[in-house]
Structure 1
């Protein structure tokens, strides 16, 4: 049997994410949503950074501001931001859902808005947050029919773990 290609592995992860929702496993969904948000976002940042370097652009302008790794930064990035942003995400998705009944469009519009907002921290964050907020939006929309709190957890928990990963990576820099 031939080894799975990266595309096949990616499709398997997305299928598992959808299957976890259908099976009703919020825990499994959250565990799968984190890499589904993280890996493509990291790839988009890498491609954008590489293109910028190849074009001779000074990438220091596009990078996120320096982090000191303080408890205040940790709390803000890993706890406060995901909790508050998910509340705002819920409201935005409710508003966008009134304009369109197509969840893919609603999630895509939400991700564009969130990407632009995060771009104020550094333009590479704009590129990196489009996909992750698409996953958070899809997660919220998929679980909203069961219960608001499940939708909230389905979006907020992978967001917090993604931000924890980013925080730890920023400390290594």
Structure 2
């Protein structure tokens, strides 16, 4: 990032409070009112951390392997499959959050189909909402179930070839 871009972002995000600190723009974070792509941004970060931590149960020395494997697991393709695997566990409210994220206008990367990308965005928005709403038990339950769906599907995939 060039310095001019960095300066623009700092000026846009931070406002001095007059006492050497930075003013907060928002006092609360109401997930119900947030842009679904922002919820997906938070959910993606949570799922990345969850997966990286979870992989430590299997490998603790090879950082490059951990990085490569976690990147694969959190890809749009695998997150879309995870959602399909956990959909039956969801409440109607959680399905509505997923649909809101899935239907948000965004652009799919080349590494996934448009449907997979939108499904993964919905999945991430659901996780982001649970995280920001501090529904930690439910968040962990769905993240663990998703990890299990993905790991089983990956094993099936390599053994059928």
- TM-score normalized by structure 2? 0.33
Rg larger for = 2
More helix by share: 1
Give the TM-score, by structure 1 length.
0.31
